[in-house]
Amino acid sequence: MMGHILRLSVWEWHKLRRRWLPWVLLGIVVILMQAAVWGAYVVHRTEPFSPNYSFSTSDEVEGEEVTLFAADWTCKDVRGDRIPPEVEDLEEELRGKVLESIEEFRESCAGYEEVRGFTGNALLLPNSILLAFTLLQGTLFILASIMAAAALGGEYGWGTLRTVLTKGTGRWQFLAAKVAALMFTALVGLALAAASVALSSLAIGAFGLEGAALQGSAEWLDVPIKIGTLLYSFLPYVMLALLATVLTSSTALGITAFVVYYVVESTASPILNNFAWFQRVSEYLLSPNVTAVLQASYGEVSVSIDGGGDAAQPELLHAVLVLAGYILVFGVLTFLLFQRRDITGAKGG
């Protein structure tokens, strides 16, 4: 039986590989991840958020206010010891005041330099891969679910589902193979996206970060852990998309049902979390528990995507079990509905 499902899974994988949608979604993921990494690099290099400091001193000459010296500095200037040469030509007392103000400003830059060190570290391997996945994980959920709805909805639309099932393929075996192929496709897509980020990070580390090592502070083991948690977090959303598709027998309606649920939960939860009675309920919703699972894999790159208001974050074990419950419930409902539904010819949508 398992061998039969495995053979079906391989066939489903080949079908997905030949369709244009998975490649389009992969292209979107790669472009967005590259934008995240190179955008972070541009910010790191140009330092648009660097604190500014202005020094100005003046004196009254013949009844008029005359500026003796004026200059502006940023933390980048202080770090590179780029002090205006005119400072050396100032009188000793005034020069002392200017240099003293520069040192005071250097101390105020300490917090900014700490943040800049974090961003520089995040651009190196394997931190850059974790950063890109963390920034885009919400988008990844949506794209994985769209692929799931399209993979099954296309069978209804083209009428191929009826042909496959009438040849003796069991319904639950077919659906299990479909889920396995979808998750394997997601795994391959995440691996390819991670490889694209790795190439960019190597270029940044080799040519774009002065004095920085090529190795970031995170462990390489964090990358497969991150991918594994992403795949586990995808699964309840994928099963929800499949359930909506089986229920409607349509790719468009399946995607619409999933997106409506995702948007409503994501937007309503932060509002309702202001009420004490809802905070207990939110511990059993999908998105807070997905966030709790993913936060355990942030590692060196801690970027919060939680919009849960003041609600307490679910514990990791609690979140894992809740997601397992969603996967089981959505999976059972999908299989039962798929078993009982009549399969008609092509629907065209």
pLDDT band of residue 307 (cuts 50, 70, 90) is: very low
pLDDT digits (tens, 9 = 90+) for 179-188: 999 999 999 9
* Same domain, yes or no: 192 and 279: yes
Question: For residue 243, is pLDDT > 90?
Answer: yes
Q: Which domain holds residue 132?
A: 2-46+124-340
Instruction: Tell whether 100 is covered by a domain.
Output: yes
Instruction: Tell whether 115 is covered by a domain.
Output: no
Instruction: Tell me what pLDDT residue 240 has.
Output: 92
* Same domain, yes or no: 183 and 91: no
* Same domain, yes or no: 154 and 79: no
On the CB side of 274, CA atoms within 13 Å amount to 5
Contact 242, 334 (CB under 8 A): yes
pLDDT digits (tens, 9 = 90+) for 199-213: 998 888 777 665 445
* Same domain, yes or no: 134 and 195: yes
Which one, of 138, 188, 183, 83, lies nearest residue 291 by Cα? Answer: 138
* Same domain, yes or no: 95 and 197: no
Per the structure, the count of domains in the chain is: 2
Which pairs from 322-330 meet CB under 8 Å and 24+ separation?
A: 322/283, 322/284, 322/289, 323/232, 323/233, 323/235, 323/236, 323/286, 323/289, 323/290, 323/293, 326/236, 326/239, 326/240, 326/286, 327/235, 327/236, 327/239, 330/236, 330/239, 330/240, 330/242, 330/243
**Amino acid in the structure at residue 178:** K
pLDDT band of residue 308 (cuts 50, 70, 90) is: very low
Residue 264, both tokens:
């409503």
Show the 3-state SS of 278-301: HHHHHCCCHHHHHHHHHHCCCCCC
Instruction: Tell me what pLDDT residue 148 has.
Output: 92
Instruction: Tell whether 201 is covered by a domain.
Output: yes
Instruction: Tell me what pLDDT residue 14 has.
Output: 86
Contact 146, 16 (CB under 8 A): no
Beta-strand ranges (E) seen in the chain are 52-61, 64-74
* Same domain, yes or no: 89 and 165: no
